Chains A and B, each alone.
Chain A
């Protein structure tokens, strides 16, 4: 049974790889979801189970669709099944084969007029899934989302760089014999990574206020 310390150590050791793992897992899960949806399309209850599971995860594609709808007032174009036209059989093919092809390709002639009542169907409701889009564009979008999602997740964990507070942005100082400058965020930011004494010098402020490592024999405000 892994302890909290073990888990923390593992995360510590794999901190750089974790976003990569997350990206991979996101890609695999989305591929599995797409496959399962396709296979289970004829089975509404099974499909509902898959949709329910998918709804537990952030749905980036649906988010994009809704944003598109919000901005344009139109549903986002999506894929449309490609109609498959069977190849025309050779003239030497059996009559039955050619008749079958003809029936598949050529619409049937209109029925003779009869005095019958045809129950009308309501017009089809607008379907946001209808339309067409470039498969390459969709692949590019999917790749972007696969990268952007984990990257965004990683960025939400962006830390602060812990530094002492300073009063006036842009003002230099010498801190422990090392130049420093007050950053725009009002934090004392070191310049370099070692004191001036490491090269036999001393930190001083120049006349124009810039802190630097000067010769030890130089005068100057410390």
Chain B
């Protein structure tokens, strides 16, 4: 049984090392003016969508429902990375959230790396290509495939780190893809790419390797070097 203080110590050191490696920062969502604004926008859109839904049903149109979070859910239940800033719910930054941070921060670190690396996206500058394609994923199949690709890389990292820490089984691929469909409104083309990507990553992990994702490889190497006593001993 690993003492909680040791887990908190490793989580703090890991966060500092990850931020230094990627040039990232970690903030608390409820303390960020920008994220409070986004939460307000989610609530406003939900209210507006509800009225438009009412209007549409009056004329016998049943528009598709989008699984958008409420403002409170956005602030308290989700981690969000914008550029190089990783924003976490307040509860996850408390000492009791140390294990959650160690599992979630590598996932978000993958998105920081994806943002910094950029992507070829038509006439858009390479450095904003990641954000533009990510936001467009609800509108076009091409962008949905990009979202499926980047999220599958990030979720494979999550499962790799979780398995390293807990020694437990990985989350089933179908479960992750279903979650992407519901929470990211991922189109079928994107879901197909995510599933194929996860199958490859899981095959690599089944063979004793880590997914070929830079941040994942760096994270496992850091944990092997700085916290070998935690391997397979953490209860998530």
Contact = CB atoms under 8 A, between A and B. Distances in A.
B59 A172 contact: no
Contacts of A140: 44, 47-48, 50-51
Interface string A159-191: 111100000011010000011010111010111
Contacts of B124: 15, 157, 159
A170 B161 CA distance: 27
Interface in B20-60: 41, 44-45, 47-52, 55, 58-59
Contacts of A198: 212, 214, 217
Contacts of B114: 193
Given A71-B59, A158-B140, A210-B203, A184 B212 contact: no
Contact of A190 (B121, B122, B149, B199): B149
Given A143-B44, A154-B135, A160 B142 contact: yes
Given A160-B121, A161-B133, A184-B141, A191 B200 contact: yes
Contacts of B214: 193-194, 198
B109 interface: no
A199 B209 contact: yes
Contacts of A190: 149
A144 interface: yes
Contact of A161 (B44, B121, B128, B197): B121
Contacts of A195: 212
Residue of B51, B196, B213 with highest tally of chain A CB at under 10 A: B196
Given A144-B45, A184-B192, A195-B212, A159 B136 contact: yes
Contacts of B83: 16
A183 B193 contact: yes
B177 to A, nearest CB: 14
Interface in B180-236: 188-189, 192-193, 196-197, 199-201, 203-204, 207-214, 217
Contact of B125 (A15, A178, A194, A215): A15
A194 B200 contact: no
Nearest to B127: A12
A142 B189 CA distance: 33
Most buried by B among A145, A148, A187, A194: A194
A123 B149 CA distance: 65
B197 A212 contact: no
Contacts of B52: 141, 144
A55 B29 CA distance: 41
A165 to B, nearest CB: 13
B48 A161 contact: no
B106 interface: no
A158 B132 contact: yes
29 contacts: A15-B132, A16-B82, A16-B83, A68-B59, A140-B48, A143-B45, A144-B48, A147-B41, A154-B135, A157-B124, A158-B133, A158-B140, A161-B142, A162-B121, A179-B204, A183-B189, A184-B145, A185-B189, A189-B149, A191-B153, A193-B117, A193-B153, A193-B213, A198-B212, A199-B209, A210-B203, A212-B209, A213-B207, A218-B207
Q: Which 10 A-B pairs have the closest CB atoms?
A: A144-B48, A159-B122, A192-B212, A212-B203, A158-B136, A162-B120, A159-B121, A181-B196, A15-B128, A184-B189
Interface of A: 12, 15-16, 68, 71-72, 137, 140-141, 143-145, 147-148, 154-155, 157-162, 169-170, 172, 178-179, 181, 183-185, 187, 189-196, 198-199, 201, 206, 210-215, 218
Given A179-B200, A215-B209, 11 more contacts: A141-B52, A144-B45, A154-B135, A161-B142, A181-B196, A189-B196, A191-B200, A192-B200, A210-B203, A213-B209, A215-B208
